[in-house]
Amino acid sequence: MAIDLARLGTVLQSESWQKSVRILTHWKIWRRARHVKSSSRPKTILTKQGHTIEYYEQDATSVKLQFDEIDTVLARLYSFTEEELDFIINYDIKYRMGVDGGDDAAYVQPILQALAGLGGKGKMADVLDKVLALMKPVLKDVDFQPLASDPETPRWRNAAQWARNTMVQDGLIKSDSPRGTWEMTDAGRAFVKQRSK
Same domain for 75 and 154: no
Instruction: Report the number of distinct structural domains present in the chain.
Output: 2
Same domain for 17 and 74: yes
Same domain for 52 and 130: no
Phi-psi label, residue 17: left if phi above 0, alpha if psi -120 to 50, beta otherwise: alpha
Predicted pLDDT of residue 96: 39
Same domain for 84 and 48: yes
Predicted pLDDT of residue 116: 93
Residue 168 CB partners (closer than 8 Å, separation 6+):
174, 175
For helices 82-89 and 60-77, give the axis angle rounded to 10 degrees: 150
Predicted pLDDT of residue 97: 37
Report yes or no on 171 lying in a domain.
yes
For every residue of the chain, which 3-state class applies, written as one string? CCCCHHHHHHHHCCHHHHHHHHHHHHHHHHHHHCCHHHHEEEEEEECCCCCEEEEEEECHHHHHHHHHHHHHHHHHHCCCCHHHHHHHHCHHHHHHCCCCCCCHHHHHHHHHHHHHHCCCEEEHHHHHHHHHHHHCCCCCHHHHCECCCCCCCEHHHHHHHHHHHHHHHCCCECCCCCCCEEEECHHHHHHHHHHCC
Last residue of a domain, one of 89, 114, 132: 89
Report yes or no on 95 lying in a domain.
no
Quote the domain boundaries for residue 108: 104-195
Predicted pLDDT of residue 28: 58
Predicted pLDDT of residue 98: 38
Same domain for 64 and 19: yes
Report yes or no on 76 lying in a domain.
yes
Contact 139, 150 (CB under 8 A): no
Report yes or no on 98 lying in a domain.
no
Give me the tens of pLDDT residue by residue for the chain, a chain 197 residues long: 556 666 666 766 677 767 766 666 666 555 555 555 566 677 787 877 888 888 776 655 556 666 777 778 777 777 888 888 877 776 654 443 334 444 567 888 899 999 999 999 999 999 999 999 999 888 888 888 888 888 889 989 988 999 998 888 888 999 999 999 999 999 888 888 877 65
The answer to whether the predicted template modeling score (pTM) of the entire model surpasses 0.85 is no
